[in-house]
Copies of this chain bind each other. A is one copy, B any other.
């Protein structure tokens, strides 16, 4: 997540420069054909382009709303993970007389958080983090989940036997939560907690199950591919048609143009065609870099930072003094 005052305009232009290059070519070709090769019949009625433009605007707008919603949903899920973790912390501390059990439950919770964030920061074929314009931006920040291995992280929180237990399973997060339930049950079996407390703890585990499932569902269900392709096709057709639609409009400017300018006003079409097309392609690019909130780009929900904050808070609840440092923004980006 970018938490600066704003992206810089230069950054934004740089980030979208590939589209600008292409759009310049797309805008220049019709002008050259029209002006240099004299193909005066190459024009398209503005009505056609305008109808196309409006329909495309609707589609792009719809997609950007849904991309926004996906990121906001992800944010909400992780806000919930944060406060349910606090809940877990006080329950573990205040339910168990024996603090070693509490500590084990809290550390296994860190393991679950770790497994979950590694899973969410995995790569999917439809994501755009490693697309060129995003990849080059990665020099400005590091993704913790790509700099150290899951195994070494989990080893901080789990015993070797536990690590062994989740080694080959389909879903580490699910089985870690199942282990929490088994541990709580064992404590109930030994009368460390009473039945109502056992149930209360298990309900909290159920919340974690739900948050896991919601996070995974957002990660593994891309924006519907059938909507996505319609979006892409129409934006491209629109950008291709736009300069043809503008030819007549700009040609008519020649009437008022004096001297040397006269007869060359059509060349002005290129920057304006680029400018308008660029709105559309920028919106597409912004949407694409927002729709997958867990892909490791600079617009991600900052799950690494949230997990670290949880870890600090829960360790403080347990009275620990040696705390890991909070994750700080790098170049205004928290990850």
Contacts and interface: CB of A to CB of B under 8 A. Distances in A.
Contact of A171 (B195, B272, B290, B313): B313
A170 B326 contact: yes
Given A71-B224, A79-B214, A169-B316, A177 B86 contact: yes
Given A209-B83, A317-B178, A279 B169 contact: no
Q: Which secondary structure characterizes the binding site on chain A? A: helix
A12 interface: yes
A65 interface: yes
Query: How many copies of the chain does the oligomer comprise?
Result: 5
A40 interface: yes
B57 A58 contact: yes
Contacts of A217: 75-76, 79, 82
Contacts of A178: 86, 89-90, 93, 316-317
B210 A90 contact: no
10 contacts: A7-B228, A41-B258, A57-B58, A62-B65, A79-B217, A83-B210, A171-B313, A175-B313, A224-B299, A227-B286
A224 to B, nearest CB: 6
A90 to B, nearest CB: 4
A194 interface: yes
B275 A237 contact: yes
Contacts of A64: 62, 227
A99 interface: no
Interface of A: 1-7, 9, 12, 40-41, 43-48, 50-55, 57-59, 61-62, 64-66, 68, 71, 75-76, 79-80, 82-84, 86-87, 89-91, 93-94, 124-126, 169-171, 174-175, 177-178, 181-182, 184-185, 194-197, 199-200, 202, 205-206, 209-210, 212-214, 217, 220-222, 224-230, 232-234, 237, 246, 249-250, 252-253, 256-258, 261, 265, 272, 275-276, 279-280, 282-283, 286, 289-290, 299, 309, 312-313, 316-317, 323, 326
